[in-house]
Structure 1
Amino acid sequence: MEPSKCIFPQEIIENVRTPLFIVNPAYDFSQIQHNLVPAGSDPHGYGRRYRLTIQECDSTQTETLQGFRSPLLEALSKLEKDKEGGMFINSCFVHCQNWMAEAWH
């Protein structure tokens, strides 16, 4: 496969031949920080509070967040049927949740 595709869940699931267990948040803090209200598109900082907490989002922004979550879950749907794989997808507002004990626990 083209190396740049290996970060996408649908490519990983399709091409990895060993048992696979994915741990990932449905609402990735990094995606929200850089995609929902990118700092470059908000030079006066009006959207800063939305980038820091999803509780501050209005209904349109919440719908945008679902736009990140839904494709992820759809891409992972094949893994649900795999008896040698699994996943832990939560709704925490984190990025890289399993690399340090404070985030994982």
Structure 2
Amino acid sequence: MPVEIARQLKGAVKRLNRQRGLHDAFRAAEAGQRLGWCTVDLYCDHCGRPAGNGDHAACLAARAMEPPRYCPHCRRRMVVQITPRNWTARCSVHGSTGG
């Protein structure tokens, strides 16, 4: 069921993108994430650009060696702490992730 909801939301975001512009589409998707029924990453966590635009192969290759720099949900720069054994990244809105 959550996969179907995410698919429907992604379609709604695309329709909003065409109808009202990019900004309104991202705001609608962010609202869905805050409500807890959206798991779609809107942005690349390495470069911060929209995940659906362009080729992010270089970003994926870089992410093999580096922690994320941008929140994939809201595009904010994350606070990143790197230690010899692991890393943590924290978004001011969406919380922490680690690796």
Same fold (TM over 0.5): no
Structure number, greater radius of gyration: 1
TM-score (norm 1): 0.28
TM-score (norm 2): 0.29
Which has the larger share of helix? 1
